Structure 1
Amino acid sequence: MSTIWRLTAFADFKTLGDAVERLDEIDPPIALSWLLFDEGDAARMDVLFQTRPDEAAFREASGLAGDVAITVEPMPDEDWVRISLEGLKPVDAGRFVLFGAHDREAVTPGLIGIEIEAGPAFGTGHHGTTRGCLIAFDEMLDAGFAPKTVFDLGCGTAALAIAAAKVLPDAEILASDIDPEAVEESAENCVKNGTPGIECFVAEGLDHPKLAGREFELIFANILAGPLVELAPGIAKALTPGGRVILSGLLTEQESWVSEAYRAAGLDVRRQTPLEGWETLVATRG
C-alpha cells in the first residue's frame, strides 16, 4: 500500500472555512479527504493525499496565503484512517446524532443515529452547515411540521435525507447531487442506515425529469452561496404553498446576498443561529 500524505494548515476558522469551500468546488477532488477542526482561538485543517502534495499548488487551489502555516508529512499506512477520523466524535443536532462506525458505542442513548463516514463528499455532520440544517429541521418537527414530500438537493452523503426518512417513514424522499460518486455513496449510506426507500439520482440543480413539475413540502439545499442564489427562483417554484426550504453552505458575509435572493423569489426568510461562521436560513412559501 502506498504512503498517505497529510497536509495540515493552521489559521483562523474563517480563513480555513473559505479554503474548505474552495476545495468542495473542485471536481474531481484534489485530495482523499479534508477536515476542519475548531481549536478555540485558532483552527486546523487536515488534508490527506495519495501522493506528496505540492504546497504551492495547494495554496493556489485553496486560496491560502503564504502567511498561513502549512506542514506536510507522510503517514504510516496503518495509521492514516485512524488519524483521518481523530476528533470526529458523535455530533448532536437536536434529536439527531451523526457518527462514524468507529464511534457506534459512543452514541447518546435516545437520539436518532445517522452513520456517515468521513470522506471527500460533504455532509458528515462535523461541519456547521450540516449540523445547522439538522437543528433547523429538528425545530420544525418540534413545531408539528411533518412534510410528506422531501427533496435533498445537493445531497453529498444524504445525511439530511436519511434524517428525514428516519422521522418521516411515510414521506416520499428524493436526493440528488451533481457528482455521480456522491450519489453512489448516498445510496450506500441509505442502505447502511436502514432507509433504502430514498431515491438517489444524479442531477444538476433542478434539471432532471424526476423533478419536472414537482413540488415539495420540504427542500434541503446545503450547497454553496452562488448556486443557492442562482437556484432561488426554481427552488421557490418547487415548494408547495406553505412549503419550506432549509438553506446552508453560506458564510456569514454571504447571508444577506442569499436572503435577498429568496425574498425576491417571494419567500419569507428567517435566519438561524450561526454555527462556526456558517449560516443556515429557513425560507417559507406563503
Structure 2
Amino acid sequence: MNSLSSQICGSLSHFVAKNTALRLVSRPDIGHKGTNDRRTLPVTDPATTPDSTWKLTLELPLEVTSAFEELLYAQGDDPIPTIATFEIPERPEVWTFEAYYVNRPAEDRVRQALGFLCDMYQLDMPAFVIEEVEQRDWVAESQKILKPVKTNRFFIHGSHDADKVPADRIALQIEAGQAFGTGQHGTTHGCLRAIEDIAEQGQPHNILDLGTGSGVLALAMAKIWDSPVTASDIDPIATETTIENAEINHVKLAASAEDKTGVFALTADGFDDPELAGRGPFDLIVANILAGPLIELAPEMARHLTADGRLVLSGLLDHQQERVLDAYRAQGFSLEKEYALGEWRALTLKRV
C-alpha cells in the first residue's frame, strides 16, 4: 500500500472512530484515475427507480477526489451514492465531483466530511450544491446523446443504431456505461484516426492499449490486425467491460497471458505489473489517458516499446501538447503526426 493510501486509510479509521454515527463501507470498484470523463449514467429500472434523486456537486483537486469518495462512503448511506468525476478543460487544477443519492444528503454531514478532508490536505472549504435531479430514463437519454461515430474505417454505435451500419465500415457496438470510451470523445476519435493511418503502413506484431476503458481501441485494432492485443486498465470494471464488449463484437479473447492470439484484458497498475510487462515488448502502444500520466510514463513507454515501434498518445489538450512532447523527446521520440479535434489532441510518435 502506498503512502497516500495508508494516509487515507489511517485517517478514515480515525474519522469513523470519532464519529460513532458513521460506519465504514466497502468502496465499489469504480475507478476515476487516468480518464477524461468516467461519468456513470444511473440505470433506470421502472420497478426499482426511486421517486427522487439528489445530486451533490462541488469542485476538488483531482488528487483528493478518491479520499473524499471514501469519506462519503464511510457515512453509511444506504444505498451508497454513485460517484462521478470529470475534468474541467479550462481549469485543469480542479475536477468536478458529483455524488448521486436516493435520499437528500444532510448538509451538516457533507460539511463534516469536507471539513475532515480540508484538514487532512490543508484545503479551503469548497462551496457545494445539493439539488434534486429530474427523473429520467437514462438509457434513452444516453441513446439520444451517443450518435454513431464514423471514421474512414470504423462505425462506432450503440445497439439502438445497429441497423445503420454502412456496408463499407467496420462496426463496433459500444454502449454507454461505467467505463470511459464510446468513440464520442475527441481523444478516442483521434486515436481511431491514428490507428487507421498506421494500418496503411503495415501490421504491428504485438499491441498494447494502455488505459483501455471500454476496450473500444483494443477491439478496433483487433478488428483490423491479426495480432495479439493487450487491453490493460487500472480499473477492474474497465477490464470486465472490455471482455463484455469483445463478446458483443465477436472479437476473440485470449485464454491466458501465455495465449498470443486475440485480446487479453488485464487489470494492472501500469508496467510495474509483471503480467503486463511480460506481454511486451510492444511495437505499438496506444495510451488514451491524461497528460500528467503520459508524462510520468514516458521512460516506461520507451523501455517497453521495440526499436521500430510507434506510440499513439491521447487524452491531452492543445496547451498540454508541448509538455507531453518534451517528455518523449527526452526519451528519443519525435512527432510523426498530430490529430486535432477541437481542443483535444492525439499524437503519433516514433523513435528518432
The answer for the alignment partner of 1:88 in structure 2 is 146
Specify the SS of the correspondent of 1:86.
helix
Q: What's the CA shift for 1:242?
A: 1.5
State the SS of the aligned residue for 2:341: coil
Could you tell me how far apart the structure 1 residues matched to 2:158 and 2:101 are?
Answer: 22
Query: Which blocks of at least 5 consecutive residues in structure 2 are unaligned?
Result: 1-47, 71-80, 88-95, 115-125, 253-261
**2:163 matched to 1:116?**
no
Q: Give CA-to-partner distance per residue, 1:81-102, whole Å, 9 cap, x none.
A: 1012212111012201111111
Report the 3-state secondary structure (helix = DSSP H, G, I; strand = E; otherwise coil) of the residue aligned with 1:155. Answer: coil
Matched, 1:280 2:343: no
Is the 2:266–2:276 Cα contact (8 Å) retained in structure 1? no
Task: Give the corresponding residue for 1:208.
Answer: 273
Percent identity, aligned pairs only? 39
> Is 1:73 the counterpart of 2:130 in the alignment?
no
* 8 Å contact kept, 2:54–2:101: no
Do residues 51 (structure 1) and 102 (structure 2) align?
A: yes
Q: What displacement does 1:274 show?
A: 1.3
Q: TM-score, with normalisation over the residues of structure 2?
A: 0.64
Q: 2:194–2:339: 8 Å Cα contact kept in structure 1?
A: no
Of 172, 197, 216, the residue aligned with 1:159 is 216
Q: Deviations over 1:149-188 (max 9, x none)?
A: 100101001111100111112x011111000111111111
Indicate conservation of the 8 Å contact 1:183/1:200, yes or no: yes
Matched, 1:229 2:295: yes
| 2:243 pairs with 1:190 | no
Tell me by how many angstroms 1:35 deviates.
9.7
Q: Do the aligned partners of residues 53 and 112 (structure 1) sit closer, same or farther apart at CA in structure 2, a change above 3 Å counting?
A: farther
Pair 1:243–1:81, CA change in 2 (3 A): same
Q: TM (normalized to structure 1)?
A: 0.77
State the 1:52 CA deviation. Answer: 6.5
Alignment check: 8 A CA contact 2:209 2:286 kept = yes
The Cα offsets for residues 3-35 of structure 1, whole Å up to 9 and x where unpaired, read as: 37497x9xxxxxxxxx9x969x85979747789
Residues matched between the structures, number: 256
Q: Decide which structure has greater strand share.
A: 1
**2:302 is aligned with 1:244:** no
1:140 counterpart = 2:198: yes
Quick one: structure 1 residues 259 and 194, their matched pair in 2 at CA, closer, same or farther if it must change by over 3 Å?
same
1:89–1:261 distance in 2 versus 1, CA, 3 Å: same
Secondary structure at the aligned position of 1:206 is classed as helix
Residue 252 of structure 1: how far off its partner (Å): 1.2
| Residue number in structure 1 paired with 2:229 | 173
Change (3 A) 1:33 1:131: farther
Give me the whole-angstrom Cα distance separating, in 1, the residues matched to 2:187 and 2:104. 28
SS at match of 1:75: coil
**Separation in structure 2 between the aligned mates of residue 74 and residue 251 of structure 1, nearest angstrom:** 32
Cα deviation, residue 209, structure 1: 1.6
Query: Secondary structure, in 3 states, of the residue corresponding to 2:339?
Result: coil
Specify the structure having the higher radius of gyration (Cα).
2
How far, CA to CA, are the matches of 2:300 and 2:347 in structure 1?
Answer: 17
Please give the alpha-carbon distance, in whole angstroms, between the structure 1 residues aligned to 2:224 and 2:104. Answer: 43
Shift in Å, 1:207: 1.7
Per the TM alignment, residue 212 of structure 1 is displaced from its structure 2 partner at its CA by 2.7
Q: Distance in 1 between matches of 2:331 and 2:229?
A: 24
RMSD: 3.5
Cα drift, residue 53 of structure 1: 7.9
Amino acid at match of 1:75: Q
